[in-house]
């Protein structure tokens, strides 16, 4: 079963809900993550509350948190699930706090321009803006690129797909493509990649 992610409008930047933009939440003491390629801070893209996923595809408690490097667009292998130009974290849903921004980093490189709630729905009303999809199977733009879990080497489960977004202020840079998030919940690992 697939659910759509619809634009739910503005929401608080630290809201513990599925959203694009705002500030990342993580357990206390978590440092802002850096790009493994250029070493500059990653940009927070989105978080997906796993309780929004349809049915059995994931545990109901947890947060999938997505980052990508915005410092050197196209030069840090941002599309790759394993190169470190992006980061997907599978976090517990409880006890999450805003991650302090690193000193001296430009705000627009740390986050999107605005914050929008992403609301799971079975159908899209006329005029609704679709931000992505949850569950089901990935709608690959190219070939099946299901990542293997770096811990157990099994294919990861598909969790969510993200569109770049309609608004240039909030849009993510997937080369006009789509982002795909997978996870291996027994190992607590997640991966993000995009295709265009």
Tell me which residues touch Zn ion (CB under 5 A): 35, 37-38, 69, 71, 76, 149, 151-152, 184, 187
- Report the alpha-carbon distance of residue 8 to residue 12 in Å, rounded: 12
How far apart are alpha carbons 42 and 60 in whole angstroms? Answer: 27
Q: Which residues are within 8 A (CB) of 18 and not within 5 positions of it... i.e. 6 or more apart?
A: 5, 46, 47, 48, 49, 52, 117, 118, 119, 120
Closest to Zn ion by CB, 141 vs 187, is 187
Quick check: 158 and 184 in contact, CB under 8 A?
no
- C-alpha pair distances (Å), 163 with each of 83, 119, 141, 160, 185: 21, 14, 12, 10, 23
N-to-C CA span, the chain? 24
Beta bridge partners of 112: none
What is the nearest approach in angstroms of Zn ion to the Cβ of residue 184?
3
Q: Least distance (Å) from Zn ion to the CB of residue 30?
A: 19
Q: How far is the CB of 26 from Zn ion (least distance, A)?
A: 20
Shorter beta-carbon distance to Zn ion: residue 1 or 151: 151
Q: Give min distance, CB of 24 to Zn ion, in A.
A: 17
Measured from the CB of residue 34, what is the shortest distance to Zn ion in angstroms? Answer: 8
Q: How many CA atoms lie within 13 A of 90 on its CB side?
A: 23
């Amino acid at each position: 079963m697939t659910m759509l992610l619809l634009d739910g409008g503005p929401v608080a930047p630290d809201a513990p809900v599925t959203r694009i933009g705002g500030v990342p939440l993580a357990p206390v003491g978590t440092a802002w993550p850096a790009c493994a390629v250029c070493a500059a801070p990653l940009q927070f893209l989105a978080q997906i509350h796993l309780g929004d996923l349809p049915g059995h595809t994931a545990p109901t408690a947890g947060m999938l948190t997505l980052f990508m490097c915005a410092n050197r667009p196209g030069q840090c292998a941002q599309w790759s699930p394993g190169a470190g130009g992006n980061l997907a974290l599978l976090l517990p849903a409880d006890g999450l706090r805003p991650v302090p921004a690193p000193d001296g980093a430009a705000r627009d490189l740390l986050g999107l321009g605005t914050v929008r709630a992403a609301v799971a729905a079975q159908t899209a009303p006329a005029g609704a803006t679709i931000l992505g999809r949850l569950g089901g199977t990935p709608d690959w733009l190219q070939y099946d690129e299901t990542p293997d879990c770096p811990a157990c080497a099994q294919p990861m489960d598909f969790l969510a797909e993200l569109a770049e977004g309609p608004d240039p202020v909030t849009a993510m840079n997937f080369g006009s493509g789509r982002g795909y998030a997978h996870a291996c919940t027994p190992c607590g690992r997640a991966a993000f990649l995009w295709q265009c």
